[in-house]
């Protein structure tokens, strides 16, 4: 299936979602360039160190990928309880994993 065939099979909800995503990205870009305190780098950079945080990058990636999967399955009428539960675990699980890793790497107190 080429791009022309794909676009001709879109319905109004697909076009509306794509327009909303483009608008959201535009607004984020305008806020990022503006002189306000909003900085998109805070999404992936650790506040304390100023370096890229593996935890934050993993959480943003999990949220993005799992949201696309949920949207696709919902549009095609195949969303199940198990899939939604997996969606919730995928992005919330990164926070639990970070807590578990931080807890296991802290030295014991005497």
Per-residue pLDDT tens over the stretch 19-70: 888 888 888 778 777 766 777 778 888 888 888 888 788 778 877 888 888 8
pLDDT surpasses 70 at 88: yes
Task: Please tell me the predicted confidence (pLDDT) of residue 55.
Answer: 76
Task: Please tell me the predicted confidence (pLDDT) of residue 101.
Answer: 77
- Answer for the pair 70, 86: CB distance below 8 angstroms, yes or no: no
Quote the domain boundaries for residue 33. Answer: 1-38
- Answer for the pair 53, 46: CB distance below 8 angstroms, yes or no: yes
- Is 101 a domain residue? no
Determine how many CB atoms are found less than 10 A away from the CB of residue 28: 13
- Is 102 a domain residue? no
33 with 72, same domain: the answer is no
44 with 77, same domain: the answer is yes
- Answer for the pair 91, 59: CB distance below 8 angstroms, yes or no: yes
Q: How many CA atoms does the CB half-sphere of 35 hold within 13 Å?
A: 0
18 with 47, same domain: the answer is no
For residues 93-105, average pLDDT: 75
68 with 86, same domain: the answer is yes
Q: Quote the number of domains for the chain.
A: 2
2 with 29, same domain: the answer is yes
The span from the CA of 32 to the CA of 91, in Å, is 24
């Amino acid at each position: 299936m080429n791009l022309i065939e794909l676009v001709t099979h879109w319905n109004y909800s697909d076009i509306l979602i794509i327009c909303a995503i483009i608008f959201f990205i535009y607004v984020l870009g305008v806020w990022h360039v503006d002189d306000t305190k909003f900085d998109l780098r805070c999404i992936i950079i650790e506040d304390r160190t100023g370096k890229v945080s593996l935890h934050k990058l993993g959480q943003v990636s999990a949220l993005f990928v799992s949201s696309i999967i949920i949207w696709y399955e919902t549009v095609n009428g195949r969303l199940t309880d198990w899939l939604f539960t997996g969606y919730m675990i995928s992005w919330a699980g990164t926070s639990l994993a970070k807590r578990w890793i931080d807890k296991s790497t802290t030295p014991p107190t005497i």
